[in-house]
Amino acid sequence: MKVLPGEKPTLLHTKVSRRKLLGGAAAAAIVLVEAPFASAVQMAVTQAELTDPTKIPGVPPGQVGTRSAFEKPVKKPSDISSRTPLQDLFGTITPSDLHFERNHNGVPAIDPAKHELVIHGMVEKPIVLTLADLKRFPSVTRICFLECSGNFRSGSEKLSPQDICGLTSQSEWTGVMLSTIFRQVGVDPKATWFLAEGSDAAVMTRSIPVQKGWDDAMIVYAQNGEAIRPEQGYPFRLFLPGYEGNMSIKWLRRIEFSDAPYLTREETSKYTEPVKDGKIRYFSFDIDARSIITFPAYPAQVQKGWIEIRGIAWSGRGKVQRVEISTDAGKSWHSASLNGPVLDKAHTGFRYLWQWNGRETEIQSRVTDETGYRQPTYQELVTARGSKGGYHFNPITGWILKPDGRVLLSNG
Ligand SMILES: Nc1nc2c(c(=O)[nH]1)N[C@H]1C(S)=C(S)[C@@H](COP(=O)(O)O)O[C@H]1N2
Ligand SMILES: [Mo]
């Protein structure tokens, strides 16, 4: 849309020429065509642009709220995934409709009344649970990120945080502790692994250590205060805090206990990483600590003077302990402020106030988590892995500030 924030007061408070008015109307018409919003709100946008909103009654309340038609964050979907526009967000909760998606064979349509979760294998009492059954167990609510292990892109200086690592999102999840269900079925102490299976067309399966179930795994049926979205696993999914996203099986329909991993396709031919000497590593559960500056970042434009550098940091192994900022391409580092409360295995906001002299420079962020692990540089990762990408690739990201105010990805 062509209406800039700075133009709005002009249209509202001063006499406008007929030509300008038509320009405004044309811009408003674009809103009408493009935006998937309720027509009442579209009308309000058209009027607000052209008239003084204190002189006409606003639109009445609707069945559901809408985003301002001036704000159009999108997930930029491909056939298999969509990415959270990290550079457009504030705070750390991802609006549910902007949560990234990764589907191995689409989003299934599931009637919760017909959906069942079968739990069997090395247990005393196999059971079948429905959504209604799950809601009868004691509930827990927790804010946590979910990140795909394939969350890295490079190859152009014109990549945004969304493009580089938009396969991470954060929600407030509500459901049942898996340990509660474990007690209900009486898990055999000799069981060491369980299989989780989804009821999508991919019938995605992964083996998970029983220990994670006793620790902090959940079955979640709600996200940000409402039923979990179909894209996130409606009517419920497995949720493994801090683990690579693919293990949090969506549309969960079966859990089977065993004394060995099942070695499914998704843990042998996929989701393994090369390490040194031509070896391949199986089972990399934890998401390594990572941070990214989301402002200033491509495609933002900046001006010299005070800039609040902002971003998010997270770790699958616990809390973020420290985020440091460099404004000289990694030569010197300064502590950023963390936006508390700092939660376990959660996106944590950081900020660093800095005065830019307008000369070309590169800004970077790096996180250290509570285990002492510090986010590596790109070069360190390439050396360790012998590859320039792949799963669990979490390098420091640098942004180059150009004297004309453009912000470009470093090493793009
Ligand atoms: N049943 C099923 N579960 C699944 C998937 C899938 O395709 N099918 N994708 C996995 C992958 S690779 C990731 S990264 C996360 C993505 O979760 P989201 O789409 O809710 O963001 O779900 C995981 N669980
Ligand atoms: Mo993933």
Name which residue sits closest to atom 12 of ligand 1, judged by CA: 246
- Strand-pairing partners, residue 320, are 369
Strands 407-409 and 398-401, bridge-based pairing = antiparallel
- Work out the number of other CB atoms within 10 angstroms of the CB of residue 278: 7
pLDDT of residue 270: 86
| DSSP reduced 3-state for 89 | coil
Atom of ligand 1 nearest to the CA of 229: 20
Residue 289 near residue 373, CB atoms below 8 Å: yes
pLDDT of residue 274: 75
CATH architecture of the domain with range 87-271: Alpha-Beta Complex (3.90)
229 CB near ligand 1 (under 6 Å): no
pLDDT of residue 4: 41
| DSSP reduced 3-state for 379 | helix
Tokens representing 187 are 């898990």
248 CB near ligand 1 (under 6 Å): yes
pLDDT of residue 347: 98
How far apart CA 142 and CA 178 sit, in angstroms, is: 14
pTM: 0.89
How far apart CA 22 and CA 16 sit, in angstroms, is: 10
pLDDT of residue 13: 33
pLDDT of residue 47: 60
Please write down the long-range contacts of 38-47, taking CB distance under 8 Å and 24 or more positions apart.
38/62, 38/66, 41/66, 41/69, 42/69, 45/69, 45/70
- Strand-pairing partners, residue 170, are 145
The residues spanned by each domain of the chain are 11-55, 87-271, 290-409
How distant is the alpha carbon of residue 229 from its chain centre?
14
82 CB near ligand 1 (under 6 Å): no
Name which residue sits closest to atom 11 of ligand 1, judged by CA: 246
From 169, 234, 246, mutation site for ligand 1 pocket: most ligand atoms within 8 A of C-beta: 246
375 CB near ligand 1 (under 6 Å): no
Residue 44 near residue 58, CB atoms below 8 Å: yes
198 CB near ligand 1 (under 6 Å): yes
Q: In this structure, what DSSP letter does residue 123 have?
A: B
Which ligand lies nearest to the CA atom of residue 204 in the structure?
A: 1
Q: For the domain covering 290-409, report its CATH number.
A: 2.60.40.650
Name which residue sits closest to atom 20 of ligand 1, judged by CA: 232
* Cβ neighbourhood burial of 136 (10 Å; 0-12, 13-18, 19+): exposed
pLDDT of residue 45: 61
How far apart CA 330 and CA 349 sit, in angstroms, is: 20
Q: What pLDDT tens digit does each residue of the chain (412 aa) get?
A: 343 444 333 333 333 343 443 444 444 433 343 444 445 555 556 665 667 888 888 899 999 999 998 999 999 999 999 999 999 999 999 999 999 999 999 999 999 999 999 999 999 999 999 999 999 999 999 999 999 999 999 999 999 999 999 999 999 999 999 999 999 999 999 999 999 999 999 999 999 999 999 999 999 999 999 999 999 999 999 999 999 999 999 999 999 999 999 999 889 888 888 777 788 888 999 999 999 999 999 999 999 999 999 999 999 999 999 999 999 999 999 999 999 999 999 999 999 999 999 999 999 999 999 999 999 999 999 998 888 888 999 999 999 999 999 999 998 6
Q: How far is the CA of 150 from the centre of ligand 2 (A)?
A: 6
170 CB near ligand 1 (under 6 Å): no
